Each structure stands twice: as C-alpha cells, then as structure tokens.
Amino acid sequence: MSLTPEDVRHAAALAHIALEPDELEALARDLAGILDHIGRIAELDLTDVPPTSHALDLVNVLGDDVPREPWPREQLLELAPARTADGFLVPPIGA
C-alpha cells in the first residue's frame, strides 16, 4: 500500500491540522518513506496471534467514591485563550 497525497489530506483532516500545499507535499514525502518501511508489517501472517492492547495484566485501580470540592471554575477559565464570565468562548460552529 503506498501513500497518496489524497491519503495525507484525509489524515490531516482527521487530525484537524491545516496544511499549506508545500507543507503537505513535504509531509506526504516523509510519510510515504515511513509507511513504505513500517507498512511491511501488513505482510506478516498473524491470523493466529491475538492482539495486545495493554502489556501487563493489570486490573484498574479504583478510588473510593468520595465527594470532594470541584475545581475552582475561575482558576480553569483563566487559562482559556478566550472566555466569557462563566464559560469558554469559541468561534461559531459552521460560519
């Protein structure tokens, strides 16, 4: 499977990264080289091998269900690039 510029545009759209034409071209070249190499993994016959999503057989550690003070809203809103009195301010969804 080799990577086309269209594939890169699609991946960039999924990753929400705008790319200028020259950057897209450079990344397409980089990614094609990388995928030519790592993509060979697809040729292995591993139908009998189960997948591993997590290396160790650990069981989730759960905390006690104790109510506590929520994070101070003001402290979190102060970090936002744009805000209203009590919320995050964002551009319209669909201009």
Partner 1 sequence: MAAFDVERASAEGIARLLDARELTCEEVAQAYLERIEALNGDLNVYLHVDPERVLARARALDSEGRAGIAGVPIAYKDLLCIRGVPTTAGSRVLEGYRPPYTATAVRRCEAEGLVELGKTNMDEFAMGSSTENSAYGPTRNPWDRERVPGGSSGGSAAAVAASMAPLSLGTDTGGSIRQPAALCGVVGLKPTYGNVSRYGAIAFASSLDQIGPFARTVRDCALALRVIAGADTCDSTCVGPPEPIELPDREDLRGIKVGAISLDGIEGVSPGVRESYEAALATVRSLGGELVEAKLEFSLTPHALAAYYLIAPAEASANLARYDGVRYGLRVDGDDIFAMYDATRERGFGREVKRRCLIGAYALSAGYYDAYYGQAQRVRTLIRRDFDTAFASCDLLLTPTAPTVAFTLGELVDDPLAMYACDLFTLPVNLSGLPALSLPCGLSDGLPVGLHLAGPAFSENRLLAAAHALEGAFAFDPRPPALTGAA
Residues that bind partner 1 (CB under 8 A): 1, 3, 7-8, 10-12, 14-19, 27, 30-31, 33-35, 37-42, 44, 46, 49-56, 58, 60-64, 71, 75-76, 79-82, 88, 90-95
The CB-of-19 to partner 1 minimum distance in angstroms stands at 7
The CB-of-69 to partner 1 minimum distance in angstroms stands at 13
Residue 59 DSSP one-character state:
P
Query: d(Cα 35, Cα 2) in Å, to the nearest integer?
Result: 7
SS3 track for 25-58: HHHHHHHHHHHHHHHHHHHCCCCCCCCCCCCCCC
The CB-of-52 to partner 1 minimum distance in angstroms stands at 4
Amino acid at 11: A
For 89, phi and psi rounded to 5 degrees? -100, 125
The CB-of-62 to partner 1 minimum distance in angstroms stands at 7
**Residue nearer to partner 1 on the CB measure, 54 or 86:** 54
